[in-house]
């Protein structure tokens, strides 16, 4: 009976270790999918250009004042990445955007995904 109890305890420890290992692996995979930019420092990110296919699709302009209002009816004077809810400033004049993950975005830029920050939001 004692050997049987010891065997049950060992089996429970193995199951627990296996469950924890699977949970840990799942957490690592999920983190790498959810936050791919977390691995890179902002200085290491490539700068988003207007030639980037996704940027082209969203009408991205490095300088918001050059947006063609005829092509981008959503654009209003004064809008720029620096005042967008999707933008997080990381250094002078640049930051990251939840739309263009893995790229450094100019805070004076603009794209059609622009969403004004809520009033009272600082950044």
pLDDT tens figures, 64-78: 999 999 999 999 999
pTM of the model: 0.63
Q: Is the pLDDT of residue 44 over 50?
A: yes
Residue 60 vs residue 36, higher pLDDT: 60
The Cα–Cα gap between 83 and 117 comes to 6
Half-sphere exposure of 102 (CA within 13 A, CB side): 7
For residue 40, the model assigns a pLDDT of 52
Place of tokens 């209003």: 76
Q: Say if residues 80 and 54 touch (Cβ distance below 8 Å).
A: no
* Residue 13 token pair: 């420890």
The predicted-structure confidence for 86-123, as pLDDT tens digits, reads as follows 999 998 899 999 999 999 999 999 999 999 998 765 55
């Amino acid at each position: 009976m004692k050997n049987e109890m010891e065997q049950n305890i060992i089996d429970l420890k193995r199951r627990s270790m296996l469950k924890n290992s699977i949970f840990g692996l799942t957490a690592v995979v999920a983190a790498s999918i959810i936050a791919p930019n977390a691995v890179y420092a902002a200085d290491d990110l490539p700068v988003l250009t207007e030639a980037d296919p996704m940027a082209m699709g969203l009408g991205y302009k490095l300088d918001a004042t050059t947006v063609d209002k005829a092509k981008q009816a959503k654009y209003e004077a004064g809008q720029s990445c620096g005042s967008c809810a999707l933008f997080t400033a990381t250094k002078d004049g640049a930051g990251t955007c939840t739309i263009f993950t893995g790229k450094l975005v100019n805070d004076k830029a603009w794209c059609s995904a622009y969403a004004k920050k809520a009033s009272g939001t600082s950044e």
